[in-house]
Amino acid sequence: MSVILTLLAAVLASGACAYHRSSLRTWAIATIVATLVVGLIAHAPWTTAILLIVELAIALPLLLVDFRRQQISLPLLKLFAKVTPKLSETEQTALEAGTVGFEGELFSGKPDWHELLKQPKPELSVEEQAFMDGPVEELCAMIDDWQITHELADLPPEVWEFIKKHRFFGMIIPKRYGGLEFSALAHSAVLQKLSTMSATVSSTVAVPNSLGPAELLLHYGSDEQKNHYLPRLAVGEEIPCFALTGPYAGSDATSIPDVGIVCRQVVDGVETLGIKLTFDKRYITLAPVATVVGLAFRMYDPEHLLGDKDDLGITLALLPRSTPGLEIGRRHFPLNIPFQNGPVRGKDVFAPLSVLIGGPHMAGHGWRMLVECLSVGRAISLPSNATGGMRASALATGAYARMRKQFGLAVARFEGVEEALARIGGLTYATAALSRATAAAVDRGEKPAVPSAIAKYHATEWARQIASDTMDVHGGKAVQLGPKNYAGRGWSAVPIAITVEGANIMTRSLMIFGQGAIRCHPYVLKEMQALSIADRGEQLKTFDRLLFGHIGFGISNAVRSFAMGLSGARLGDAAGDNYTRRYYRKLGRYSAALALCADVFMGVLGGKLKFKEKLSARLGDVLSYLYIASAMLKRYEDTGRPEADRPFLAWGFHQCMWLIQNALDGAIRNFPVRPVAWLLRALVFPLGRREVPPSDRLGRRVAALLTAPNEALERLTDWVYTTPTPNNTIGRMKALLPDVIAAEPVDRKFGKAQKAGQFASHDYLGQLAEAQQAGVISEAEADLLRHVRDGVFEFISVDDFDTDELHAFKTRADAA
């Protein structure tokens, strides 16, 4: 027993130091002291002596810095340099383009929650709120999505004019150039509100404010280019598009075959130095109406007119539509969501070097320019449009489920519908928090490359799930297209968001963990950068410090993961209140598990991990759900910890924990080196997999919040256009819902009399009159039932058409 106690003391002392990330010196002292004290008390001199010899044999070489560097770190440095895969120029640029925010804490294994909670609460300014209450409301009132999608396949002229007049295309352009200079949060809010009325309108507004000429000019344009283009872009005098994707290069943008050859050509009698461009682009949003085309191409200088290099690399230019040879083709028609989209082509199109964004000195810097701007634009546009659609679905589906009856009951009472409503409510809460967090990161000056990929992927994937649930609950109502259908076009639009700005399969498999593992890890990128230090002495010194910091980091995460797994994440201090403290502890546990698995996977597989996309995707899922859960907790804190929101928060949080557990389990189960996988499983899941999905009881509480007016629903559906105008069915449904609820007890009295056979009439209105005459219900109650029945009938009705009405476009023969 004395031997066991002495051993246990040494192990516990070492584990405690690792858990709290003590220094190497502190570990050595604490372990030796614990061994001595317990060994003497337990009367185990031989065991104590042996343990002390072992501990000193480990500690002394590590504490003698010069010896450690030469005998341990130097051989490992040589091995590291040999096995470390060389990053391509594309990968290096992508890694250096963005910044690291709170996602870096999640990769640390020991997040500092105070760093999250001290971030300022995102809020609209007075000017931005006035824009939301004024022009955005007015624009929503003008939108007839059936007219846009079916009758015109375009925005009506008055909508185009309103958008330009009120500078919707200039939200990101500074005021000194005539723009609105809105925050990213306001940009997101505008898109969310517009998307509740029309995906076509929100997409049209999103593109000029996302990755495109304005964003690129702001960061890299010359003063002359900014002064010329930005005032025109702000007021819609110029309509921009950006041409990147082509038939042979989509997500792999660095492989674009489009070329620009530096040459001289006589223009208007003057010999001009310029570029001759040949390109073929497609899927270019706003191209059919664009007046200025942003173009990505690979630039070559075979005659060395600009310097010594032949291949200058990817370069960006702005071409006026009037450029001779520039061809803007016919329109694409993306899934019946008719935002302007089409091909752009050109062969041997000559343009002066002044068209290069930033001027000739920016030739070859196009990939870096794109990556830096994409991390900002992708954080706003698609997540915001998805969030707006989800919020509208939550409001509409909750109201519809309360109004629509089957078998004498509101369909919201059926557990199958309740399950769908719970998903809609929980995922909408999570996605709203996520899009808010990424917008706030942009407003703090970050370039959130990893969070923007997380937001793009999960917002659009969850929008797909919610669109599916919305269709299921509405049934035939959502299938029959027409002016009364507010769900069908949302269902059609979902795949578009899934595929653009980095297809979701690629985003999940390659980008989230692929960039996050190196960018967010506290040591990996620094260790790789140490290899490029020219001074050998400084290189060894830096690598030694990073190496042993990394080793300690890995040991700490193993201990923390195991200890918190054993305790059910009940150890240690945590942020939050009595309700959320347990949530923060769970996130701490899985942060340690992610950091441990990431280190082991990278250490064992090395460069091969880049090709193990399914493993990378699962670890990316863990990082994503940690980030989303953190965003939900921040939202909960920023809104004053409202008790009414707790069902939404709890559902979203438990769903994230369940998905984290499944992702970790899948990654470990499929790890190819089985003994390592067995050890990881013991450290990550010492008591097995204990997380469960949100309970039916919790789901029932979430569904109840969606089907009745309440403060939590108001917060969830903020920035939804709810004014009950003739063009806004959802707004009118919301206005009727209190009357529907007030009529329910009256309807039960009336129904009871019906079942008792008290009425001679077989007609509903006749029975209603009889019920009033018999005193079953009062006159006011009868009026309420009539009012509700008429209102509900409008919302459960569907459209029908004459065949001629469905001929939205003339046939080619008619046109001829």
Indicate the DSSP class of residue 246: B
Indicate the DSSP class of residue 249: B
Out of 501, 527, 691, 781, the active site residue is: 501
For 252, residues 6+ apart whose C-beta sits below 8 A from its C-beta are none
Phi, psi of 185, rounded to the nearest 5 degrees: -65, -45
Which of 355, 342, 326 has the alpha carbon at shortest distance from 229? 355
Where does residue 669 rank: exposed (0-12), middle (13-18), buried (19+ CB within 10 A)? exposed
**Catalytic residue check, 501:** yes
For 33, residues 6+ apart whose C-beta sits below 8 A from its C-beta are 13
Strand partners, 246: 249
Which of 298, 340, 330, 331 has the alpha carbon at shortest distance from 317? 298
Q: Give the CA distances from residue 392 to residues 103, 305, 440, 491, in Å, rounded to whole numbers and listed in that order.
A: 29, 56, 22, 13
Which of 246, 237, 192, 198 has the alpha carbon at shortest distance from 214? 237
CA distance 522 to 515: 13
Determine how β-strand 327-328 pairs with β-strand 292-300: unpaired
3-class DSSP assignment, residue 316: strand
CA-based end-to-end distance of the chain: 99
CA distance 732 to 743: 17
* Cα atoms in the Cβ-side hemisphere of radius 13 Å centred on 27: 22
Whether 475 and 127 have beta carbons less than 8 Å apart is answered as no
Whether 259 and 314 have beta carbons less than 8 Å apart is answered as no
Which of 314, 325, 342 has the alpha carbon at shortest distance from 257? 314
Which of 624, 351, 654 has the alpha carbon at shortest distance from 512? 624
Torsion of CA 131, 135, 137, 140, to 10 degrees: -130
Geometric angle at alpha carbon 780, from 775 and 783, rounded to 5°: 105
3-class DSSP assignment, residue 259: strand
Whether 424 and 707 have beta carbons less than 8 Å apart is answered as no
CA distance 497 to 203: 10
Which H/E stretch holds residue 288?
Answer: none
Where does residue 78 rank: exposed (0-12), middle (13-18), buried (19+ CB within 10 A)? exposed
* Cα atoms in the Cβ-side hemisphere of radius 13 Å centred on 571: 16
Q: Give the CA distances from residue 730 to residues 86, 235, 399, in Å, rounded to whole numbers and listed in that order.
A: 54, 31, 9
CA distance 220 to 228: 14
3-class DSSP assignment, residue 346: strand
Whether 657 and 691 have beta carbons less than 8 Å apart is answered as yes
The tokens of 812 are what? 């080619």
Q: Can you tell me which residue has the tokens 């910890």?
A: 641
Catalytic residue ranges: 501
